[in-house]
Structure 1
């Protein structure tokens, strides 16, 4: 795989889980943009938002995108929910939207084995109406920037990984 694959989608849709499974199956590296930012700042995303605000965090996302363009090839990259807004997203690689309804995502998080930690990492879901509002705002924007859309509802992780590989021509 020479070109990067960029996974976007709403928080909780399974970007990280999918990235890890894809990387293992196709023997490629995977990185997570939020992990890169947390490492650089030595703070959790939640704390960055609390202490420095969203505008600062979005600047960090842009710096991360710039670094990926200059430094990373042949990698699967899972992105935070708002990362789709970076100005040079398509220069990073093929943009794949993991798509699902809000209700499916919420159910996935609530029924996961480690649901408490999954929900704790996503404090917005404690305010379902606010989370749904953000989902509605982003849904069309995600589809607009995606090169490939993979609906993940009702599919196994293996099916999702195979569909991404097929649509991105990875062998």
Structure 2
């Protein structure tokens, strides 16, 4: 959460002329609700079901597209069939600072329902870190790097 997946994906797609879709955007469109409202009204378990349905659709219907995934998407059962998984890695402290100091910090934090309580967010980060590393094909540390540097490293590691 908050590492810059969406920003990086959009910039990468533009630079390399590929399509980019965001799994959270797909879910919001299908449900006609923002992620935070889905969590509030139907709960996390329901949202995770939506993620799996989205992964199943991607596996069947989407090819040659960059897919930006929500922070919990690593749990989908078929992630290994969707393509190369690129993990944008950063420390919790760096992510937290990034979100708190962004121009639109209030909106960025509000969009992430699981980040609303710092201690809980830190626990979740620690819980997910090992799982992320297990599913990642490529790991790119983004701390103190420009967006262009991150994109170049992804392209080099993915042999684009």
Q: Normalising to structure 2: TM-score of the pair?
A: 0.97
Q: Which 10-residue stretch deviates more, 144-153 or 107-116?
A: 107-116
Are positions 1:17 and 2:40 aligned together? no
Contact 2:35 2:111 in 1 (8 A): no
Say what the alpha-carbon RMSD is for the aligned residues.
0.9
Counting only pairs closer than 5 Å after superposition, residues 39-58 of structure 1 correspond to structure 2 as 39-58=29-48
Q: CA deviation at 1:124?
A: 3.3
Unaligned ranges ≥5, structure 2 = none
**What residue in structure 2 maps to residue 151 of structure 1?**
141
1:168 and 2:158 are equivalent in the alignment: yes
Q: Specify the alignment match of 1:77 in structure 2.
A: 67
Gaps spanning 5+ residues in structure 1: where?
1-10
Whole-Å Cα distance in 2 between the matches of residues 124 and 91 of structure 1? 27
1:19 Cα deviation from its structure 2 partner: 0.5
Q: Counterpart of 1:7? A: none
The Cα shift of 1:50 comes to 1.4
Q: What is the match of residue 131 of structure 2? A: 141
Tell me the number of residue pairs that the alignment of Structure 1 and Structure 2 aligns: 160
Correspondence for 2:76: 86
Q: Does 1:122 align with 2:112?
A: yes
- What is the TM-score of this pair, normalised by structure 1? 0.91
Q: Map Cα deviations across residues 129-156 of structure 1 (whole Å, 9 max, x no partner).
A: 0000000000011001100100000110
- Structure with more contact order per residue of length (Cα contacts < 8 Å, sep ≥ 6): 1
SS in 1 for 2:2: coil
Greater shift, 125-134 or 141-150, is seen at 125-134
